[in-house]
Amino acid sequence: MEDNPARDRRSRPHGPREPPTITPAVEKLQSRVQEILSMLTPEELHKFRVILKTVDEEPRVSDLKLELEGRSASGLACLLVKHYYLRIAPRVVTKVLERLCRADVLLHWKSYPAGDGAVIPRKILKRSFDCVEGELDCYDLSCRRRAFLMCVQKNRPGAHRDVQLMEDWLGQCRFESTLCLDPDRMELLEKLTSFRDELNEIKAEISCCLVTLMSHGKKGWITMKDGDEVSLEDVFEMFNNKNCPALHEKPKIFIIQACRGEKRDSGVETDDEPMDSDDVSEKRRLPTFSDYFIIYPTQPGS
Contact between residue 260 and residue 267 where contact means Cβ atoms under 8 Å apart: no
d(CA 97, CA 36): 10
Catalytic residue among 138, 208, 216, 244: 216
Q: Is 216 a catalytic residue?
A: yes
d(CA 237, CA 76): 47
Contact between residue 211 and residue 255 where contact means Cβ atoms under 8 Å apart: yes
d(CA 24, CA 27): 5
| Alpha-helical segments (H) within the chain | 5-11, 24-38, 42-52, 63-69, 73-100, 103-110, 159-172, 185-201, 232-238
Q: Is 259 a catalytic residue?
A: yes
Q: Say how many C-beta atoms besides its own lie within 10 A of residue 169's C-beta.
A: 13
C-alpha distance from residue 270 to each of 266, 273, 276, 287, 288 (Å): 13, 8, 15, 10, 11
Rounded-to-5 percentages of helix, strand, coil across the chain: 40, 15, 45
Catalytic residue among 78, 108, 143, 259: 259
Q: Could you say which DSSP state residue 223 is in?
A: E
Q: Say how many C-beta atoms besides its own lie within 10 A of residue 214's C-beta.
A: 20
d(CA 47, CA 114): 26
Question: Which residues are the active-site residues?
Answer: 216, 259
